[in-house]
């Protein structure tokens, strides 16, 4: 059996999803784990609850949410996904958490997704429907028009509709699974080396 494993920890809730790529239409399973600060101790157990370790050799593709989100939580799942992808020799899709929200919301026009950071300002990125179809920069019909970055306040954003960027798990990990399955069907290469956590308030180097 050929499996896809997806991990999302850009909020206080961990999302884990598994999809089977056999028998035509993918079969998706996902679950939310409200782990909060215990993520570092419970990550492995949560993944095993969805997919026992003895089945990990069946993984043919991985996907992970890159953030923006909590740096420590996001980094833990990115490191785990990179390690598995390297050990198993499989592709790893890294997808921004705001893009997953945009897909779930089915945005119909370019919209700024905004996340408030206490005492720091807001992180915002612009997303909208893509006219390019599916390719590595369009991600299944929704496109990142402006990458998330830090602003002093929402009033500094360029003109356009704004909406709160609120992760929802397991719904957002379902979006991540769908994208990974699309990428697998299209045969898109996804080297694990290029997948790094996105944290606009702090530069990120190699993991």
What is the widest separation between alpha-carbon atoms in the chain?
A: 51
What's the mean pLDDT in 18-35?
A: 85
More confident residue, 165 or 27: 165
pLDDT value of residue 64: 98
Whole-angstrom distance, CA of residue 173 vs CA of residue 5: 10
- pLDDT digit string (tens) for 80-107? 999 999 999 999 999 999 999 999 999 9
What's the mean pLDDT in 63-86?
A: 94
Q: Which residues contact 35 (CB under 8 A, 6 or more apart)?
A: 12, 13, 14, 42, 43, 46
- Same-domain pairing of 140 and 72: no
CATH number at residue 39: 3.30.420.40
Whole-angstrom distance, CA of residue 170 vs CA of residue 8: 9
- Specify the number of domains making up the chain: 2
Tokens read off for 191: 């080297």
Which residue(s) pair with 125 in the sheet? Answer: 113
Q: Does residue 111 fall inside a structural domain? A: yes
What's the mean pLDDT in 190-202?
A: 85
pLDDT value of residue 202: 44
Task: Map tokens 């957002």 to a residue.
Answer: 172
> Is the pLDDT reported for residue 138 higher than 90?
no
- Same-domain pairing of 25 and 70: yes
- Same-domain pairing of 72 and 27: yes
pLDDT value of residue 65: 97
pLDDT value of residue 78: 96
Whole-angstrom distance, CA of residue 80 vs CA of residue 92: 11
Helix, strand, coil percent content, the chain, rounded in steps of 5 = 35, 30, 35
pLDDT value of residue 139: 57
> Is the pLDDT reported for residue 142 higher than 80?
yes
Q: Does residue 171 fall inside a structural domain? A: no
Q: Which residues contact 51 (CB under 8 A, 6 or more apart)?
A: 3, 5, 16, 18, 59
- pLDDT digit string (tens) for 39-63? 999 999 999 999 999 999 999 999 9
pLDDT value of residue 72: 86
Q: Does residue 181 fall inside a structural domain? A: no
Boundaries of domain holding 87: 3-96+189-194
- Same-domain pairing of 128 and 88: no
Whole-angstrom distance, CA of residue 112 vs CA of residue 126: 4
- The region of weakest confidence among 21-25, 74-78, 149-153, 195-199 is 21-25
CB atoms within 10 A of CB 75: 19
Task: Give the three-class secondary structure for 49.
Answer: helix
Which residue(s) pair with 142 in the sheet? Answer: 129
């Amino acid at each position: 059996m050929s499996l896809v494993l997806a991990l999302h920890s850009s909020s206080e809730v961990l999302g884990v999803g598994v999809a089977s790529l056999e028998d035509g239409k993918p079969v998706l399973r996902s679950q939310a784990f409200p782990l909060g600060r215990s993520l570092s101790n419970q990550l492995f157990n949560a993944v095993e609850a969805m997919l026992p370790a003895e089945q990990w050799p069946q993984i043919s593709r991985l996907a992970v949410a890159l953030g923006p989100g909590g740096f420590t939580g996001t980094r833990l799942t990115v490191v785990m996904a990179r390690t598995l992808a390297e050990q198993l020799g499989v592709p790893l899709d890294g997808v921004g958490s705001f893009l997953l929200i945009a897909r779930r919301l089915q945005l119909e026009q370019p919209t700024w997704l905004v996340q408030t950071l206490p005492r720091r300002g807001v992180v915002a990125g612009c997303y909208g429907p893509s006219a390019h179809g599916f390719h590595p920069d369009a991600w299944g019909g929704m496109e990142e028009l402006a990458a998330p970055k830090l602003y002093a306040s929402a009033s500094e954003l360029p003109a356009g509709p704004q909406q709160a960027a609120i992760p929802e798990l397991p719904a957002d990990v379902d979006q991540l699974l769908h994208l990974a399955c699309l990428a697998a069907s299209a045969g898109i290469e996804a080297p694990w080396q290029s997948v790094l956590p996105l944290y606009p308030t702090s530069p990120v180097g190699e993991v």
